[in-house]
Amino acid sequence: MYKGISNQPKRRLKEHNRNECPGTRGKGPWNLIYTESFETRVLARKREKYFKSGSGREFLKILLNIPL
């Protein structure tokens, strides 16, 4: 499960699937399954950090109905 921020998520997804991003190269294919919008990049970054935390990962698993 990949978590990240972008002002153009569909474009970013295409970049990941074309192996243009070193951090995710060869680990796809990727599917966009959940997005949120924020007023500022600072708020988006805070939410991204939450999703990368233990409680954030649990929240996503429940939201996406993935067994814990």
* Two tokens, residue 58: 């649990």
Per-residue pLDDT of the chain (68 residues; tens, 9 = 90+): 889 999 999 999 999 999 998 988 999 899 998 899 999 999 999 999 999 999 999 999 998 888 76
- Per domain, the residue ranges of the chain are 9-63
Inter-residue contact 63 to 3 (CB < 8 Å): no
* Two tokens, residue 42: 């600072």
Predicted pLDDT of residue 67: 78
How many residues would you count in the chain?
A: 68
Query: Could you tell me which residues come within 8 angstroms of residue 43 by beta carbon, excluding any fewer than 6 positions away?
Result: none
Predicted pLDDT of residue 62: 92
